[in-house]
Amino acid sequence: MSESVLDSSVWRQYNKDNSFREKLAEFCVMDETEFISDDKELYAVMKSKLTKKELKLFAMDSAGMSEAELCKSFSYNEEELEKAKFKLYKKLKQDKTRLSFRATAIDEE
């Protein structure tokens, strides 16, 4: 894995390690072994499927930041934050998003 790329990623700004694979598995309802094996490639696919705001929200929420911190960071009220989180996690559960994280998706291209 190219540490320099992932060390400077949005994910690492809020999380101590590259645990995005575990969080993706949790929210996509998939086994980690089904994912693209290379973290750098998997992160690139995740970046391509989420907007910058969604990626930042995913990283911050996964890091356990408080609702107040999230609202302040995104200039959301509580209702807007809940809607943004709902949209983000709904997107992660959609087949077209989930399937793009699979190892076979890279092989077929």
Domain containing residue 9: 3-104
Number of separate domains in the chain: 1
Neighbours of 93 (CB within 10 A): 13
pTM for the full predicted model: 0.86
Amino acid 42: pLDDT: 93
> What confidence tens digit (pLDDT) does each residue in 53-83 have?
999 999 999 999 999 999 999 999 999 999 9
CA distance 78 to 59: 18
In a domain, residue 31? The reply is yes
In a domain, residue 109? The reply is no
For 95-105, give one letter per residue: b (16+ CB within 10 A) or e: eebbebbbeee
Q: Are 100 and 45 in contact (CB under 8 A)?
A: yes
Amino acid 104: pLDDT: 75
Q: What is the mean pLDDT of the chain?
A: 89
